[in-house]
Amino acid sequence: MLPEDCLATVLSFTSPENAFRSSLVSSTFRSAIDSDMVWERFLPRDYPEIVLSLVTPLKFSSKKELFQRLCDPVLIDGGNKIFKLEKSSGKKSYILSAKELSITWSSNPLYWSWISMAESRFSRVAVLRTTDWLEIRGNIRTQMLTPNSTYGAYLIMKISDRAYGLDSMSSEITVEVGNQQVSCSSVVLEHHQESKKQMEMWKSSEGIVSEREDGWMEIELGQFFTGENDEEVKMSLMEVKGCHLKGGLVIEGIEVRPKN
Q: What is the pLDDT of residues 203-258, one digit of tens each?
A: 333 456 788 999 899 999 999 999 999 999 999 999 866 678 999 999 999 999 99
Query: Which of 148-152, 167-171, 214-218 has the highest mean predicted lDDT (pLDDT)?
Result: 148-152
pLDDT tens, residue by residue, 31-79: 888 889 999 999 999 999 999 999 999 999 999 999 999 999 999 999 9
Mean per-residue pLDDT, 145-152 = 98
Range 71-94 average pLDDT: 97
Closest CA to 250 of 119, 60, 87: 119
In this prediction the pTM is 0.90
Judge whether 237 and 209 are in contact, CB under 8 Å.
no
What does the angle CA 46 – CA 47 – CA 50 come to, to the nearest 5 degrees? Answer: 95
The topology under which CATH files domain 94-258 is Jelly Rolls (2.60.120)
What does the pLDDT average to over 189-201? 48
Structural domain boundaries in the chain: 4-72, 94-258
User: Do the beta carbons of residue 105 and residue 251 sit within 8 Å?
Assistant: no
Range from 2-11, 95-104, 109-118, 172-181 carrying the lowest mean pLDDT? 2-11
Cα 184 from Cα 205, distance rounded (Å): 7
